[in-house]
Amino acid sequence: MPEFETLIAARKACRTCVERSPGRIRSCGEFAFDPDVVSHWELWLGNRNPELLVVGQDFGNVDYFVRNRGRDEPHNPTNENLYRLLIEAGLEVTHPSQRDTTAPVFLTNSILCIKEGPMNGAILSRWVDTCTQTHLLPLIGYLKPRTVVGMGNAGWRAVRRAFALHDAPPRISRAAGHHWLAANGTGVFAVGHCGPLGIINRSWPQQLADWRRIGAFVYEAADGYDQPRKPNSDFAEGRSDAHEFYRR
């Protein structure tokens, strides 16, 4: 089982997608101010023994990263909406402007590098697939969350791939609002992205309902376990033997 610092070092050193897509993506590790984190989103919610892991899309582009010195803007619209959704789920979390390592939530993204070009620039599927294998699987093995959420197209692609949910719809437009039980017992949920554009594709009332279901599952899973969690051997070696178990 890798130590968390090993995961941080691996993220900072990784240049796989940068070398394959020169001029389109950059490693955050290139910057001297790059924080010592696996995910820059964990600077808001970064509990290392979480009940819930949320996998979003990406942290942004180079301009955003440099302007905010590797951190989010205090009132980032996506974070503001996610804050409201987590509260709706019954999770007590701080406002995104304040770091919270107590709430049982860890936030990460489908890719851990940053894009060149506009904030809404395309995320290539091969970047997601590489980052899932290289970084997300070891992170899941370390955190051992009982509930995992894939948010938006890229976040859902990463989670679906990590848990080998081959029978689940690959497109978030079909998967959003449904959930599966992986072979190792992890509850896996697909949700629409909660940024301004994502709410166009899946309405705010639908997203509220999705997150209420997630919250109910999180608390049900927590109540159902009275023993300390054991290491997840499927992910400890960077593998996943998970499969679809059920869907609503």
Written as six digits, the tokens of 21 are 């897509």
* Residue 224 binned pLDDT confidence (cut-offs 50, 70, 90): low
Domains of the chain, with CATH numbers? 4-236 (3.40.470.10)
Query: At residue 234, does pLDDT exceed 90?
Result: no
What mean pLDDT do residues 85-103 have? 97
What is the reported pTM? 0.90
How many distinct helices (H) and strands (E) make up the chain? 11, 7
Which residues, in sequence order, are bridge partners of residue 52?
A: 105, 147
**Mean of per-residue pLDDT scores for the chain:** 90
Compute the distance between CA of residue 18 and CA of residue 115 in angstroms, rounded to an integer: 10
Query: At residue 2, does pLDDT exceed 90?
Result: no
CA 94 from centroid of its chain's CA atoms: 18
**Residue 217 · residue 178 · CB < 8 Å:** no
Written as six digits, the tokens of 77 are 């619209």
What mean pLDDT do residues 46-71 have? 97
Classified as helix, coil or strand, 215 is helix
Compute the distance between CA of residue 24 and CA of residue 13 in angstroms, rounded to an integer: 18
Written as six digits, the tokens of 210 are 């999705």
Residues 19-41 have pLDDT tens digits of: 999 999 999 999 999 999 999 99
